[in-house]
Structure 1
Amino acid sequence: MAFSKDNLIGFVLALCSSGFIGASFIVKKKGLRKAAACGVRAGLGGYSYLLEPLWWLGMITMIVGEVANFVAYAFAPALLVTPLGALSIIVSAVLAHFILKEKLNNLGILGCLMCIVGSVIIVIHAPQERNITSVQEIWSMATQKVFLLYVGSVIVLVFILAIHLAPLCGHTNVLVFTGICSLMGSLSVMSVKALGISLKLTFEGNNQLIYPETWFFMTVVMTCVITQMNYLNKALDTFSTVVVSPIYYVMFTTLTIFASVILFKDWDGESGASIVSEICGFIVVLSGTILLHMTKGTEGLPSFKCDYQPVSPALSARLYTENGELIKCDDEDM
């Protein structure tokens, strides 16, 4: 299938977005470490990182990347833009190797190469962006029974993870915090795409700001992004970046593509060969992220079991690093 001008614009913006977002993980991680040196960690409910300039630099870097990603969704389908987020994992893993000293071995390098190959396959076989003429058309698709069922399932799962599982095993099971981020992320991408298309049409002279649907999508975006950022901070502060980034990408991308296929009918009119190629490319990318996950040694990794142990009162005086070692602030620093 020919690579259209809109797809090319979306592709370039997605590449820029991956670079900024991948770097932001590292900068924010360093900010979280610095803030945790003499304060309550974000993973334990602390917000001292809000006073750390390095964390804000990482946040600004992430915002720049997200803005580029936002614009990319207005030009290209989610099936093209979202999988390219694998490149942010590569950036994050490489920078973590050199800056955070989180070792990236030969298996991790192979995982990076697989992510690149899979992304190329997806880009080549990506579907064309659907021609949408108004935000009301998107609203009509969003209120279909199948997509409403998906939205309802996401909301229920988020409440179960946040209210029931997070207090029990959120600090031992990396899937809890990243699961909340991924589920909310799939809804935020659908709303971002709807909002991006609305603004694109508005700039082209077809004003969509007069419709309440546009403002509804904007509200959903803000709600989902705030929730994502909160739990992503918890995940980054509790677990290694090399662990969080791939798992978050796999879950987020899978759910987003699934939601996009339901809402925007990305595979309608596509040949069976193109669909199979896209799925194969996605599987290659997922395999690459799994290899990146395996680059983290088993020693010091948080358990995936949901074992709950009461938190002692003295725990707040002792800060855990991601490799499991205990550190204490000096008496003078305290």
Structure 2
Amino acid sequence: MGISKDNVTGLVLAVSSSIFIGSSFIVKKMGLKKSNTPGRSAASGGHAYLYEPWWWIGMISMIVGEIANFAAYAFAPALLVTPLGALSIIVSAVLAHFILQEKLHIFGVLGCALCMVGSTTIVLHAPHERIIHSVKEVWHLATELGFILYTCVVVILVSILIFYCVPRYGQTHLVVYVGICSFTGSLTVMGVKAVGIAIKLTFEGMNQFIYFQTWFFTLVVIGCCILQINYLNKALDTFNTAVVSPVYYVMFTSLTIFASIIMFKDWDTQNASQIATELCGFVTILAGTFLLHKTKDMGNKPIEQSSAFSTPDRAIFATPEQDNINNNSSPC
């Protein structure tokens, strides 16, 4: 990769995207906290945050970040742009530490680092994307048996999470809300790619909006985005932002890469060494995620020794009541 003007432009756009997206988590949670009245919080199904200016500022920040990220791919290769998305985790964690007073222990920082290393390893060793010339070509890939089966599995899992797990475990298990966002997001990216190709080709003089496939992908993107926003708000309103941001990034990135491999059959062009490196990246991500969750309360004031030996260890995913108690404690 040469140091060309386009590469510099793509680098600046990618870094700007991470700053906007990372900041949006914090600003949106500030809005959620301000609108957090009994019976009207996002966690309890309320939508009072829609009347809070801070939430809209955070939403605008996220949109600007996503637009910048989309534009970055037009100037620089994916191997430069995609790994820089991990910077949003650092931005979110640092701002949460100083603005929201959500303390992140040193082992939590290490967990974030492992998540970023694992995700970066996967991205850097992922195969190059195949060149797509029309939205019909994307439709052909999306309607092949492999991706149809993946889509069916995602729909079934998301339905189980929404209708069975959310009422029972949504307030105590972070993976429920984040899982919904991540599984849905993997389909969103595929739809965004199709719509992006349609827009690009239309600007080049080949109108793609005369095909129903373009409008179908557009509806998929809109529907998936609404679902993601709803449950991401619930996750931010219920759990620590410094945990939500990296876990969401890790799950979303992993599932998106997995969906892309199925849809575009990228592993057909890779050797065993490249595939093994990507699998090592997944293991690193899992290790970082576990460490982040297991140590997320270590920065709070320790309980008395007498109760420490008589109380069982907390679950990895704490309840909101426990989080509130810990967040109100003085840090070490």
TM-score (norm 1): 0.81
**1:154-165 superposed matches below 5 A:** 154-165=154-165
Contact 2:22 2:90 in 1 (8 A): yes
Q: CA deviation at 1:203?
A: 2.2
Q: Which residue of 1 aligns with 2:102?
A: 102
Give, in whole Å, the separation in 2 of the partners of 1:85 and 1:54. Answer: 23
Give the secondary structure class of the aligned counterpart of 2:111.
helix
Q: CA deviation at 1:170?
A: 1.1
Q: CA deviation at 1:210?
A: 1.8
Q: Is 1:265 aligned with 2:283?
A: no
Structure 1: runs of 5+ lacking an equivalent: 308-318, 328-334
Q: CA deviation at 1:124?
A: 4.4
- Percent identical among aligned pairs is 59
Give, in whole Å, the separation in 1 of the partners of 2:148 and 2:76. Answer: 23
Contact 2:107 2:295 in 1 (8 A): yes
Give, in whole Å, the separation in 2 of the partners of 1:129 and 1:231. Answer: 30
TM-score (norm 2): 0.81
Q: Which residue of 2 aligns with 1:18?
A: 18
Give, in whole Å, the separation in 2 of the partners of 1:3 and 1:294. Answer: 42
Q: Is 1:213 aligned with 2:209?
A: no
Give the alignment's Cα RMSD to 1 decimal. Answer: 3.4
Give the secondary structure class of the aligned counterpart of 1:207.
coil
Give, in whole Å, the separation in 2 of the partners of 1:321 and 1:31. Answer: 22
**CA 1:29/1:244 → structure 2, altered by over 3 Å: closer, same or farther?**
same
Moved more, 275-284 or 155-164: 275-284
Give, in whole Å, the separation in 2 of the partners of 1:13 and 1:35. Answer: 32
1:134-174 CA distance string (max 9 Å, x none):
11111000000111011111111111111122112211111
Q: Which residue of 1 aligns with 2:204?
A: 204
Q: Which residue of 1 aligns with 2:324?
A: 323
**CA 1:8/1:326 → structure 2, altered by over 3 Å: closer, same or farther?**
closer
The one-letter code sitting in structure 2 at the alignment partner of 1:36 is N
Contact 1:41 1:47 in 2 (8 A): yes
**CA 1:172/1:120 → structure 2, altered by over 3 Å: closer, same or farther?**
closer
Q: Which residue of 2 aligns with 1:240?
A: 240
Give the secondary structure class of the aligned counterpart of 1:100.
coil
Contact 2:115 2:250 in 1 (8 A): no
**1:22-101 superposed matches below 5 A:** 22-37=22-37, 40-72=40-72, 84-101=84-101
Give, in whole Å, the separation in 2 of the partners of 1:41 and 1:101. Answer: 20
1:269-316 CA distance string (max 9 Å, x none):
233333333443454455444444344116899856899xxxxxxxxx
Give the secondary structure class of the aligned counterpart of 2:66.
helix
Q: CA deviation at 1:179?
A: 1.2
1:179-237 CA distance string (max 9 Å, x none):
11111111101111111122222223332222111111111000000000001111110
Give the secondary structure class of the aligned counterpart of 2:254.
helix
The one-letter code sitting in structure 2 at the alignment partner of 1:213 is Q
Residue correspondences, number: 315
Q: Is 1:173 aligned with 2:173?
A: yes
Give, in whole Å, the separation in 2 of the partners of 1:188 and 1:11. Answer: 24
